[in-house]
Amino acid sequence: MLFLNILSFINIIENNYIINTDIINNLNNSKIKFYPIPISNTVSVDKIGIVDFRYILKKSNAIKILGDKFLLFEKKINEKIKLKQKELKIEEKKILSRKNKFTDEDYKNKLKLFKSKVFKVQKKYKKDRLLLNNSFQTLQKKLKDLLAKVIKDVSKKRKINVVFLKENVFLFNDPSIDLTNEVLDLFNKKTKSMSITITLNDKPF
C-alpha cells in the first residue's frame, strides 16, 4: 500500500528543515578534533523558537483532508481492480473448460488474447496508482511549502532568528518560545479555503 500513514509527511518535511541527527552521531564517533568556539553570553532566549511538527501534522485540517481523500481514492482503485480480477477469473475458467472444443490453434489464440487483456488491466492499474500518487505528492509539497512559510512568518513576527524541531530539544523552561499552536492556527486559516483535489482516472478497467 502506497499510503501507510499520514505521518509520512513528517519525514518529507523534516528532510528539508531539520538537522540530521545521524550527521551529529557520525561526528561524535569520528577521530576529528574539534576546538572550542567562543559563544556570546548575550544571546537572548526570545531569539529562539521551537515547533512541534508531529502535533501540527496530526491536527492540521488540510493534511487530514488530504489523507482522507487519498485513502478514499485508493479504496476505489482497489475495488475496481478486485472486480476486474473476478471477471478475468471467470473468463479464464470458461476458456479452460472449453479447451477440448477448440482446435489447438484456436485455444492458443484465445489464451493469447486473454493474457493480453490481463496485461492491459495490470498496466492500467499501475498507471492509475501512479497518477494518484503523483497527485498526492504534488498537494503534499504545496502544503509543506505553505507550512514552511507560515513558520517563517510567525518567527519574523516574533523576531525569532532560529526555530528548532521540538522533538530534538532536550529541555526548554520558557513555554513562550513554543510556536506550535500559533503556527497551527495560522496554517489552518491559510488552508481553510484551499482547494484539495486529487486527480483520479475514473475510467473502468
Enter the pTM of the model: 0.64
8 compared with 72, residue with greater pLDDT: 72
Q: What is the mean pLDDT of the chain?
A: 79
Q: Residue 22: what pLDDT? A: 42
Report residue 43: phi and psi, to 5°. Answer: -65, 125
Q: Give the three-state DSSP class for 7.
A: coil
- Other CB atoms within a 10 A radius of the CB of residue 127 amount to 11
The full set of domain ranges for the chain reads 44-191
What's the pLDDT band for 202 if we cut at 50, 70, 90? Answer: low
* 5 pLDDT more than 50: no
Percent pLDDT > 70 in the chain is: 75
* 109 pLDDT more than 60: yes
CA 153 to chain centre: 24
* 24 pLDDT more than 50: no
Q: Residue 83: what pLDDT? A: 94
Alpha-carbon Rg of the chain, whole angstroms?
27
- Number of helices followed by number of strands (H, E) in the chain: 6, 2
* 8 pLDDT more than 70: no
CA distance 180 to 198: 28
- The mean pLDDT of 6-32, rounded to a whole number, is 39
3-state SS, one letter per residue, for 10-56: HHHHHHHHCCCHHHHHHHHHCCCCCCCCCCCCCCCHHHEEEECHHHH
Q: Residue 10: what pLDDT? A: 36
Nearest to 10 by CA among 53, 43, 47, 52: 53
